[in-house]
Amino acid sequence: MSMKLTNIHERTCRFCAFCKYWYDPTNSAIEPVGGSSGFWRFDMSKEALCMKTVRMKKKSWQSCSKYECKIPYWGGNMGLFDILSSAAEALADQGKREKERRERRQHRANREIVKMYNDSEDGGSNYRDIAKKSVGGNHGWYTCPHCGRKFRASQMDVDHIIPQSMGGMNTRENLQYLCPHCNRSKGNRMDDTEKDLKRRRKELRQRDREDVEFLDKIGKKR
């Protein structure tokens, strides 16, 4: 054990051993020398994880720009309670960051789940089922995007935005609900194809976000 004497009240003292982000919850690397003088000793051979620079270990004698002293100094009175409180705060911060990382990992996994489910639905032979699952309604009512009138699902026609005769596929992006009048008027024409595809993609992105948010909420309740 190699101990070094320092005064934590001096500006030059920015050693990791006294930083609240250096993971040493029991303060085993430091010990006070006397009263309120500010003199402490620290073990230069100690090494611990820096909670500011994740997954990076640092020696007790190192320093960086993120240094924050974990030992409070109020008129020269320093106590064990203050030291332990600072350590507890640092541990709480670490726990919070760990939780945030877990939630981010779960969010990415949920996005993959939604994408895999949607990919498995695309390209099926029953385009009516694909449309029913992917076109959003409001309590059983659906709005025709061409005329703006509302209908029940049973009153709507499933339309291929790019007609099947033109190579249109049975995919979520290429299917929409139109009222019978608008569907007959459209026929195989592609005058509104670009506008319909743009709107449909926007609807699907919003629907996918809602599905991911729903899975995120379920994960948080566990």
In a domain, 145, yes or no: yes
Domain hosting 193: range is 122-221
Taking the chain (222 residues) in runs of 10, the rounded mean pLDDT of each run is 80 85 86 72 88 80 85 54 62 82 89 84 77 80 91 90 88 91 89 90 89 86 66
* Residues 83, 26 share a domain: yes
Per-residue pLDDT, 37: 64
Task: List 56's β-bridge partners, or say none.
Answer: 50
In a domain, 108, yes or no: no
* Residues 203, 165 share a domain: yes
**Helix, coil or strand: residue 23:** coil
In a domain, 103, yes or no: no
What CATH number does the domain containing 182 carry? 1.10.30
The answer to whether the beta carbons of residues 133 and 155 sit under 8 Å apart is no
In a domain, 115, yes or no: no
Per-residue pLDDT, 222: 64
Provide the 10 A C-beta neighbour count for residue 161: 21
In a domain, 117, yes or no: no
Per-residue pLDDT, 76: 45
Per-residue pLDDT, 86: 60
The answer to whether the beta carbons of residues 93 and 206 sit under 8 Å apart is no
In a domain, 126, yes or no: yes
Give how many domains the chain has, as a whole number: 2
Per-residue pLDDT, 182: 93
Per-residue pLDDT, 147: 92
In a domain, 172, yes or no: yes
* Residues 143, 79 share a domain: no
Per-residue pLDDT, 195: 92
In a 13 Å sphere around the CA of 61, the CA atoms on its Cβ side amount to 8
* Residues 77, 10 share a domain: yes
Per-residue pLDDT, 127: 82
In a domain, 98, yes or no: no
How many residues in the chain? 222
